[in-house]
Amino acid sequence: MKIINYVTIFFISLLVVSCSKIAEPVKKMGLGSRVVNYQADEKVGSLIIPPDLTAPNSQGVFTEVIQVSNDDEIALKVQNVEVMRDKYRRWLVVDLPPSEVWSLSKDFFRSYNFKIEKENQKIGIFETDYLEIETKVPDKSLGAIRAGLAKVLQTQYGLPIADKYRVRIESVEGQNKSEVYLTLASIGEVVSGATRVWQPRDKDVELETEMLLRLMVFLGNDRVEAISKIQSNTSSSKATIEVIASESGYAALTFPYNKKQAWSYLGWALDELGVDVDDRDAIEGSFLIKANPNKGFFSKILGSMDKDTTYQLIIKEVGASQSTVIFVDLSEENEQDIINYSIELFNQIASKF
């Protein structure tokens, strides 16, 4: 009987494979209609995570519905949330002080079972842990036979991906408002011989935008109105960011903006790169960052005993429409590795523009 069942499945698979050659129209899902699930996975604990990454959380399911037991709480959360855009960024302006937005934003991610891994309210930055997302490989990527078997056996082939989020909250000068920047970072599982490891993945911009929408709704914006705001277009000319060598040998970065604008763009670029910001001063125009110049690609995978060192990035205004970012080695050791790191970091920042 088992042989007959296997033969039946085999012939059905062939039939499905032959039918699957007819391309089905692909329905492009718009903003607000994407279904994203973060699923528990018992295998997550066996994966090898690079030392500078955190193992994905395997708890909970990420759904579109936010459960709120008290209807009065929803009414209290209704606030005006605007979307600001330029050539590179999209961020929110909320009619609430940073302290309130800070608490609400953390509640937003906790409601989806993300854990807050790092937080520093003084500088307005927090990061979640990694949480695995359930994914499905498109049939065209599986090949005809495996796609056919997946349909018959009602199963799917998945590529494990884990996501984390970084939120930065800035106060709006002279107003009781806050700017909110949300950045997604992802890692994906790859197989190297008999080993399964996680490696950084390209950003899923659609997912990041979807999460921005959901945060807007959580903060009190009407869903339809929020979608309209996000989809609105804002034109802006592309800026030229240059990396130059300073007299000390360290790299310097030039922005075609005044100090205040350069500060804002530099903060966004550090978010995008996942640079660990220890402190920042908007008046001085400086960032204190933690990094390990000796931690290259292979050392990230194999591990490194070296400790992170703190460096300072200071913005100097050259004119009304130009600023320079200076890299400062606070140890004053002037090692070549640190000089090379300043060049690498500033080139990475420039690549974001």
Q: How far apart are CA 291 and CA 308, in angstroms?
A: 5
**Of 308 and 268, the one with more pLDDT:** 268
CATH number for the domain formed by residue range(s) 2-231: 3.30.530.50
pLDDT per residue over 92-116, tens digit each? 999 999 999 999 999 999 988 899 9
Q: Among 117-121, 218-222, 225-229, 302-306, whose mean pLDDT is lowest? A: 302-306
Say how many residues make up the chain. Answer: 353
Residue 155 exposure: Cα atoms within 13 Å on the Cβ side: 8
Torsion of CA 344, 347, 348, 353, to 10 degrees: 170
Token look-up 């937080």 returns: 119
Q: Exposed, middle or buried by CB within 10 Å (0-12, 13-18, 19+), for 295?
A: middle
pLDDT reading at 47 higher than 90: no
**Spatial contact of 84 and 161, defined as CB atoms under 8 Å apart:** no
Best-predicted range by mean pLDDT (29-38, 245-254, 328-337)? 245-254
Strands (E), 249-308: 251-255, 276-281, 286-291
CATH number for the domain formed by residue range(s) 242-350: 3.30.310.170
pLDDT per residue over 172-194, tens digit each? 987 889 999 999 999 988 877 77
pLDDT reading at 295 higher than 70: no
**Spatial contact of 345 and 243, defined as CB atoms under 8 Å apart:** no
Pairing label, strands 251-255, 322-329 = antiparallel
Best-predicted range by mean pLDDT (17-26, 84-93, 339-348)? 339-348
Q: Of 106, 96, 120, 86, whose CA–CA distance to 238 is shortest?
A: 86
Q: Exposed, middle or buried by CB within 10 Å (0-12, 13-18, 19+), for 185?
A: buried
pLDDT at 315: 96
Determine how many CB atoms are found less than 10 A away from the CB of residue 293.
Answer: 20
**Spatial contact of 209 and 31, defined as CB atoms under 8 Å apart:** yes
**Spatial contact of 151 and 16, defined as CB atoms under 8 Å apart:** yes
Residue 90 exposure: Cα atoms within 13 Å on the Cβ side: 21
68 phi and psi, to 5 degrees? -125, 120
**Spatial contact of 287 and 270, defined as CB atoms under 8 Å apart:** yes
Q: Of 243, 242, 108, 126, whose CA–CA distance to 181 is shortest?
A: 126
User: What are the structural domain ranges in the chain?
Assistant: 2-231, 242-350
269 phi and psi, to 5 degrees? -65, -40
pLDDT reading at 303 higher than 80: no
Under 8 Å CB-to-CB from 234, ≥6 apart: which residues?
Answer: 85, 86
**Spatial contact of 178 and 171, defined as CB atoms under 8 Å apart:** yes
